Structure 1
Amino acid sequence: MKGKAKRSSTKLGLPTALLLCSFFFLAGFYGSTFLSRDVPSIRPKLRTLEVVEKENESGLPHGETGDASIQSIPFQVLSWRPRALYFPNFASAEQCQSIIATAKKRLKPSQLALRQGETVESTKGTRTSSGTFISASEDKTGILESIEHKIARATMLPQTHGEAFNVLRYEIGQKYDSHYDAFNPAEYGPQMSQRLASFLLYLSDVEEGGETMFPFENGIFLDSGYDYKKCIGLKVKPRRGDGLLFYSLFPNGTIDRTSLHGSCPVIKGEKWVATKWIRDQEQHED
């Protein structure tokens, strides 16, 4: 019995092994071919990327005054009352330094637009900075023209609606009490055009103080007795190269009372800022 069992085991072992090997070989071959149909390959991805690149190269259809490519200008909404937006790294350090160097040669004490009944003496101390106006056409470096163009893109307000840059320097203790950039006809008389928005380009860092403040942000203190010399509310710290945009008018043309703003006193360091006031009508250089 033992011998028969042994011979039987030997005779069946070889054919069985060959059969099993053949089965697994065929199963593996055809199985891998069948399964590979569902496995994603790299080629479709490459073709997809090539299509995307071509689309980016061609860009979107645009008009004669539009841009041929997509560009982005990062910003942060700081407030909806007033509408205020912050633009980090709007200008380079070299651009800021060039503007300061140009303005330094022609600084004069800053002046105020007087309301009816006000005098230079009665408003003394309200605005203590020094500054100068520089138009883009005066700047031979082309820097102001480039920044002006970028401001127009950021605000979607035409370059031709902007006043010349008002470059200001605030030294220690200097400030600008809270005020409006728009001119209320009831206080200033009839206006040919109105300041719609303001763009502040900070040209320097300030170690301490010098913030741009909005004391009426979100309606706070709006209907209460507010001391216009106080530095309170939403405060924006100057940082070289960054920009601040806020709107003085609502879309219907009325003055936004929450757009009241001022410049806190500089405590340590020096503050340089280039302000671009944008009006609701085209401006012409004198």
Structure 2
Amino acid sequence: MTSRLKSYKRKRLGLATVIAFCSLCFLIGFYSSALLSQNVPGVRPRLRMLEMVKNGEVEEEEEASSMPHGVTGDESVGSIPFQVLSWKPRALYFPNFATAEQCQAIIERAKVNLKPSALALRQGETAESTQGTRTSSGTFVSASEESTGALEFVEKKIARATMIPRTHGEVAFNILRYELGQKYDSHYDVFNPAEYGPQTSQRIASFLLYLSDVEEGGETMFPFENGANMGDGYDYKQCMGLKVKPRKGDGLLFYSVFPNGTIDQTSLHGSCPVTKGEKWVATKWIRDQKQE
């Protein structure tokens, strides 16, 4: 009986020794690896280029290294944040496209030459029959006529945003002021040959740079967005559909034609009446052919 008890104790002691030895080896290995890792140079994370906000969460895209570029290319990778507002029509919103100082410089240059805004008349229309359609005042100013460089900066940035060369933009910006109650009824920027006659080139896109905030009203509207309201009963004076509120320095790009060159009927747009405050906007029209 005594010998059996001694044998049992020896077995328990041996098992405890094995467990203790294994635990000691684990601890030694763990702390050794931790100490060794302190001497390994840290791996720096790659830089991040663009933050995307989706469903309230920030997503980051990794920065791409710049590539060798051609004669007319850019030296480095750049990004211009934007939001797709609509696919029908293709409308994109660009926050903080220009600074407040640049916007004010453009306003100061334009305000000395303002005249009542005119219309491109369709076949059969007259100035009398279209009176009241467009009630803003405006002027045309090219980048070369603006001394601070603000318009040149904006023009170059529009080319990058649209991926259409500056040479395809109409030479001058149309800078407009909408005062209380002033508006522009729904219309197309594209010139339908059936209504305006043969065209040597066509407006394919429009870029609006909002130069001021508007307290109330003055939204850019797309009443036919996603095919809505396209029946015969639509009132072109009505402010409805997708509405984009002007904010100083922000940009709005929309395309008037499809990639195949046919007119996008959903690109109908207008400017809602200003009900409080004042609206300033600079418009750059972009053509399908190089402009002289």
TM range (shorter): 0.7 to 0.9
Between Structure 1 and Structure 2, the one with more helix by share is 1
1:179 match: 187
User: CA 1:220/1:70 → structure 2, altered by over 3 Å: closer, same or farther?
Assistant: same
Q: Using structure 1 for the length normalisation, give the TM-score.
A: 0.84
User: CA 1:66/1:124 → structure 2, altered by over 3 Å: closer, same or farther?
Assistant: same
Distance in 2 (CA, whole Å) between partners of 1:78 and 1:100 is 27
Distance in 1 (CA, whole Å) between partners of 2:215 and 2:110 is 21
Distance in 1 (CA, whole Å) between partners of 2:151 and 2:38 is 49
2:165 match: 158
Q: What does residue range 274-285 of structure 1 map to in structure 2 within 5 Å?
A: 274-284=282-292
Shift of residue 138, structure 1, vs aligned partner = 1.0
Q: Structure 1 stretch 29-38 or stretch 147-156: which is displaced more?
A: 29-38
User: CA 1:150/1:38 → structure 2, altered by over 3 Å: closer, same or farther?
Assistant: same
User: CA 1:203/1:221 → structure 2, altered by over 3 Å: closer, same or farther?
Assistant: same
Shift of residue 67, structure 1, vs aligned partner = 1.8
Q: What does residue range 20-169 of structure 1 map to in structure 2 within 5 Å?
A: 32-33=28-29, 36-37=32-33, 41=37, 46-49=42-45, 59-163=66-170, 164-169=172-177
Distance in 1 (CA, whole Å) between partners of 2:251 and 2:199 is 28
Structure 1: runs of 5+ lacking an equivalent: 1-19
Q: Using structure 2 for the length normalisation, give the TM-score.
A: 0.82
User: CA 1:33/1:162 → structure 2, altered by over 3 Å: closer, same or farther?
Assistant: same
1:267 alignment partner, one of 271, 275, 279: 275
- Structure 2 residue 243 is the aligned partner of structure 1 residue 235: yes
Distance in 2 (CA, whole Å) between partners of 1:283 and 1:40 is 66
Shift of residue 225, structure 1, vs aligned partner = 1.5
1:190 match: 198
Structure 2: runs of 5+ lacking an equivalent: 1-16, 49-61
Number of residues paired by the alignment? 261
What do residues 80-133 of structure 1 show as CA deviations (whole Å, max 9, x unaligned)? 000000011111100000000000000011000000000011011000100000
Paired letter, 1:140: S
- Structure 2 residue 224 is the aligned partner of structure 1 residue 213: no
Measured on the aligned residues, the alpha-carbon RMSD in Å equals 2.6
Distance in 1 (CA, whole Å) between partners of 2:245 and 2:116 is 23
Distance in 2 (CA, whole Å) between partners of 1:202 and 1:72 is 20
- Structure 2 residue 211 is the aligned partner of structure 1 residue 203: yes
Is the Cα contact below 8 Å between 2:205 and 2:257 reproduced in 1?
yes
Distance in 1 (CA, whole Å) between partners of 2:47 and 2:95 is 29
Distance in 2 (CA, whole Å) between partners of 1:45 and 1:73 is 35
| 3-state SS of paired residue (1:105) | helix
